[in-house]
Structure 1
Amino acid sequence: MLEGKQPDEKQDFASSDDGALAVRRLKLWIRMLGVTRLVENQLREFLRVGHDTTLPRFDVMATLHRRRDGLSMTELSRTLLISNGNATAVVDRLVRDGLVRRIHSDTDRRRVTVILTPEGVTQFEALAVRHRATIDRLFAQLDDEDLDMMRDVLRRLRGDLTGESGG
């Protein structure tokens, strides 16, 4: 048995100032998760019902649209914070649909770059306009001041979590 005073199991961890702050942080996390899930669910529904696509497909196409020169599968999965297997499955379907193509390196057989096809660019750009309008509708109650404050707080939190400054 350990010597010294054992913590009282019945003690409310929120009884101290640090505990109260910890509870507030936990409640904020739960609220952030809840809002994120609500927004994601509405986006998933918008994409599925209105456009016969999925959020992962949209995310891959958006990432490739930003990087017109293409990305390796590793870069793509790292950028999207998904596994290589998940990235491969989404890219396979996009290739099958003619929206993405794989370019094999002439110098390294293992290196494959993924890019949007012209049809993929056209389809993504049309969908991106409607996606932006949906996001605008979902966040319409936030004014410039709200957006700036939330952006700054999330940027600071991300920097703390990743060890990066800014973001």
Structure 2
Amino acid sequence: MNSILTLQLTLILCSLLLTVGIITYLKHQMKLIILPIQHVGQKLSHPLLEQPSPIHMNDLLQTNHKQQLLIFTDTACPHCIPSLEQFLETIEQRKLNVSFSILLKNGQKKDQELYRDNQTNMQIIPVDEQLIEAFQIQEFPYYIMVEDDETISYAAPFPDGLYSRLPAK
């Protein structure tokens, strides 16, 4: 009888220790799930947001436009062309006024004529890995708005949050 009582107490103690261990583990996992403050909408905010541009816009684009949207794309990106087409369609439908350039990773000189038309004043600029790293681009496409004081005011892999900031034509 004593051995049964000892066995029961041992089982209760083991289950208690196991329960405490599981609760401790789950508390630790919950801390990992809760997003830190630097996360915006489940994505880490871009490190250059509200910072000066790493490249002078005049040096990069040879243009005198004040505000400039840079759209980083990659020739190997299957989402870049549809995203760009949707962006062009949206700015046309909403009659938004924005000066933008496509910075094409792995681009060739022949790619500069891609999407060129008389209605949009768009440049397609082949860029190297060094420029991609300077802007800390991790995914494509990526939209970065550089203001006239060369501060980055918008940085995201989609332009949705940008449309309300753009003036109409």
Q: State whether TM-score is above 0.5.
A: no
Q: Which has the higher strand share?
A: 2
Q: Which has the higher helix share?
A: 1
Question: Which TM-score applies when normalising by structure 2?
Answer: 0.30
Question: Which TM-score applies when normalising by structure 1?
Answer: 0.30
Larger Rg: 2
